[in-house]
Structure 1
């Protein structure tokens, strides 16, 4: 499938040392996506897991992922483009009902680069999104989306923005915290990026003064590099990132994250792989309330391939393998495999069919779950 939903996070800007503009008009643009999955799951688990004997997670279910994006922009006489990106969760059936997801200002210029100001993921996250492992359709196994069909156990149920579940990581597993990000212009396909967030706590409150001595994670820095180029019919893309923040908790070191990834495309094939690590800064003791800061170290890798058939169909396969360490115990583990096909039905409309096998385990409690999912989805991108 040719479209990528991750592109909603890739808007940026430059430096605004500009004279007042004259009579430009705003482009009041909007868009989004609406993906609906219908599938059948078969779930097995041992007595320590959520799928213990006596429970029943088997059967048909519906999983939805949908957002509406408002993206107005204006280009001034000097060439600078100013924009806004506000992303609404178009969901009335879960905790983030009707909440705003990402919301940020953008400024962009061909010569000055790109800047993002507001609640958005880091430069490192966005860089790794540029080489997201090939996989068919809109059901991501390189994330926690499978929880819409099956229960997960161990860290698989809590490792959002951590390498145990996804190569799209953040320092301390923060998410969409208020930050400043800058990307350079492309130099023959090479783009560099840097981000800074004052407050790195997960879901930190916006527009609030905060006591740095009493805040678990502050001063989060991320750096990234992306490269994209085509050579005689071969398309290549590479990305690398590293990030760290300052721990303000006694006995807990500064957390870090790093990742690398790449894709290669030729003759209808696209191959890709990623590897990521989170270092929590703590002692790998489970249940730390600080989540990513001071919690357990994690790592994960993915590999995938797509092939564009003649006509509207694409097929592909992928896997993600992750683990989260426990002091004195086995690691929590997550692994998932997906194969499937996707057919383009028209402009911004596609139909997926896919099969997923997934396992998750808790190295401390011994809980284990494995599941099979066969599903179909209609994906709208507008």
Structure 2
């Protein structure tokens, strides 16, 4: 019964935040989205002399299509708040859904979204994104072994979480996320012994600045969690 009361209270608070009656600025609504179409082809020699010819060496795909809805408003006390919902058509479901609060003290995000340990990562994937790029979806008709690419040991994904980001001070910023259950997204109610990770804490720190005409962007991240078991 206690769990139901707590969850109900959270829903009421979240609704009240979005409906806030004392507004210094009217709500702003926005919508965006993207659709990616790929045409891929490959011409590859046989691995051995006895290898038969490969099958079709090309493909078409639309592997990334989503629409994003955003709402934003400012209360009389200067507090900014809003919501974001992302819907992915290729997965036929909601990708991320969250509400946020922002002030001079920083930003708090509540809902299903990437954690600080993932959102604040820096690497080649930050520059060459999208399918087919440095962190994209490579296409081969036949390849032995696994393709080694950039990545991390893991993150909290889009599971329900609370995340805090500090304001940027002299180029430095920190973030922290808490995720009770990595298997719980949107309204999923999962048990605490089904093999997922639980009690996940992710923290990150980054620096972004310029030295003469050289830009520097670096981050350090850490994550810890417990595996559920009977």
TM-score, scaled to structure 2: 0.76
Task: Give the drift of 1:191.
Answer: 0.4
- Give secondary structure in 1 for the equivalent of 2:119: helix
Q: Distance in 1 between matches of 2:38 and 2:193?
A: 45
Contact 1:67 1:89 in 2 (8 A): yes
Runs of 4 or more, structure 1, over 4 Å off, are: 43-47, 52-55, 149-156
Q: 1:20 to 1:152 in 2, by over 3 A?
A: farther
1:192 is aligned to 2:174: yes
Q: Which residue of 2 aligns with 1:128?
A: 121
Contact 2:122 2:217 in 1 (8 A): no
Q: 1:205 to 1:133 in 2, by over 3 A?
A: closer
Q: Which residue of 1 aligns with 2:34?
A: 33
- Give secondary structure in 2 for the equivalent of 1:79: coil
Q: Deviations over 1:81-119 (max 9, x none)?
A: 11111111244xxxx13x21111111112x110111111
1:103 is aligned to 2:97: yes
Task: Give the drift of 1:168.
Answer: 5.4
Contact 1:183 1:192 in 2 (8 A): yes
Q: Distance in 2 between matches of 1:135 and 1:78?
A: 41
1:79 is aligned to 2:61: no
Q: 1:146 to 1:188 in 2, by over 3 A?
A: same
Q: Distance in 2 between matches of 1:235 and 1:244?
A: 31
Q: Distance in 1 between matches of 2:47 and 2:26?
A: 61
Q: Distance in 1 between matches of 2:66 and 2:171?
A: 30
Could you tell me which of 167, 177, 202 is aligned with 2:159?
Answer: 177
User: Structure 1 unaligned runs (5+)?
Assistant: 1-15, 157-163, 251-382
What aligned pairs does 1:298-317 form with structure 2 within 5 A after superposition? none
What aligned pairs does 1:108-119 form with structure 2 within 5 A after superposition? 108-109=102-103, 111-119=104-112
Task: Give the drift of 1:129.
Answer: 5.0
What aligned pairs does 1:157-236 form with structure 2 within 5 A after superposition? 165-167=149-151, 170-171=154-155, 174-201=156-183, 204-236=184-216
Q: Which residue of 1 aligns with 2:226?
A: 246
Q: Distance in 2 between matches of 1:175 and 1:137?
A: 18
Q: Deviations over 1:362-382 (max 9, x none)?
A: xxxxxxxxxxxxxxxxxxxxx
- Give secondary structure in 2 for the equivalent of 1:125: helix
Q: Distance in 2 between matches of 1:136 and 1:215?
A: 32
Say which structure is richer in helix.
2
User: Structure 2 unaligned runs (5+)?
Assistant: 1-16
Greater relative contact order (CA < 8 Å, ≥ 6 in sequence): 1
Contact 2:181 2:197 in 1 (8 A): yes
Contact 2:28 2:71 in 1 (8 A): yes
Between Structure 1 and Structure 2, how many residues are aligned? 210
Structure 1 window deviating more from structure 2 (124-133 vs 28-37): it is 124-133
Q: Distance in 2 between matches of 1:131 and 1:79?
A: 37
TM-score, scaled to structure 1: 0.48
Task: Give the drift of 1:193.
Answer: 0.6
Contact 1:190 1:225 in 2 (8 A): yes
Task: Give the drift of 1:185.
Answer: 0.8
Q: 1:88 to 1:248 in 2, by over 3 A?
A: closer
